Structure 1
Amino acid sequence: MRVPILRLNAEVLIVALAADISDEDVMDFQTELGERAAAMQARGLVIDVSALDVIDSFMARVLNDIARMLRLLGAEVVVCGVQPAVAMTLVEMGSKLVDVSTSFTLEGALRRLSQRMDQAARDA
């Protein structure tokens, strides 16, 4: 299954992960996302995980890796839509989204991403 990567504007990508995404799909997505972000010189990415009923330790690690990879490319990452049960499970497992900023909604994620991109531009 291919994960659609949408271009919001010249600087921002948006991705919505489907509930039935496999580990292999996630790895393919990570590679494609890195290539696409580098090619368009993206400054921001929002990953919507609201369709996911589970974020296991593998998915949490991949989300952290994506955030680190894109940060090295000069982009900020915000994850939105983490379900309460998913958040509780992550805490119970000891998994963390340490390199990832989060938001409840897509709108909130876009606001947070804009703030982070503005701050990064000021710090540069």
Structure 2
Amino acid sequence: MDAIPILKLDDVLLVSIQVDLSDQTAMAMQDALADRITTTGARGVVIDISALEIVDSFIGRILATTASVSRMLDADTVVVGMRPAVAITLVELGLSLGEVRTALNLEKGLALLRQAKAIAADEQ
């Protein structure tokens, strides 16, 4: 099983998926990410799926569930780098990523997280 690296950048965790995800690897990533959020106090998560050529219904659900778990642990999630073919496949499968925000690339994903953080600070 390939481990998915989870890097810390300030208060954001970057998950860079560079291998095709097996169901077991995806579930291990979800558990490892939840642990890292709690141990680091991260407020944001960026999941980079630019290397994924195929996303099936299980992986789509894992991404949505991972974002929900992160949100419950007080970390916003953005999925970045989705290929057009992956987006089309998710739509064809009738899958929604729920409330998961997406961005074209890492830079735009980090900007979304900064924007959400600024809005949250203004509301306090």
TM-score, normalization by structure 1: 0.94
Number of positions where the alignment pairs a residue of Structure 1 with one of Structure 2? 123
Report % sequence identity: 44
Q: Note the alpha carbon deviations across 1:7-30, whole angstroms, 9 max, x for none.
A: 011x11101112322110111111
Residue identity in the other structure for 2:4: V
In the TM superposition, residue 119 of structure 1 has moved relative to its aligned partner by: 1.9
Query: Structure 1: any 5+ residue segments left out of the alignment?
Result: none
Q: Distance in 1 between matches of 2:43 and 2:68?
A: 13
Find out whether 1:13 has 2:5 as its counterpart.
no
Q: TM-score, normalised by structure 2?
A: 0.94
| Whole-angstrom distance in 1 between the partners of 2:22 and 2:56 | 11
The separation in 2 between residues aligned to 1:68 and 1:78, in whole angstroms, is 11
Which residue in 2 is equivalent to 1:116? 116
Q: Which residue in 2 is equivalent to 1:35?
A: 35
CA RMSD of aligned residues (A): 1.1
Letter in 1 for 2:108: G
Where does the alignment leave 5 or more consecutive residues of structure 2 unmatched?
Answer: none
AA of the residue aligned to 1:28: A
- C-alpha distance in structure 2 between counterparts of 1:40 and 1:121, whole Å: 20
Distance in 2 of aligned mates of 1:24 and 1:50: 20
**Partners of 2:70 and 2:77 within 8 A in 1:** yes
Aligned ranges for residues 90-109 of structure 1 at < 5 Å? 90-109=90-109
Q: Could you tell me whether the CA contact under 8 Å between 2:80 and 2:103 is conserved in 1?
A: yes
Would the aligned equivalents of 1:19 and 1:53 in 2 still touch at CA under 8 Å? no
Q: 1:32-72 CA distances to partner (integer Å, 9 max, x unpaired)? A: 11011011111000000000011111111111111111111
Aligned-residue offset at 1:122: 3.0
CA distance in structure 2 between the aligned counterparts of 1:42 and 1:15, rounded to whole angstroms: 12
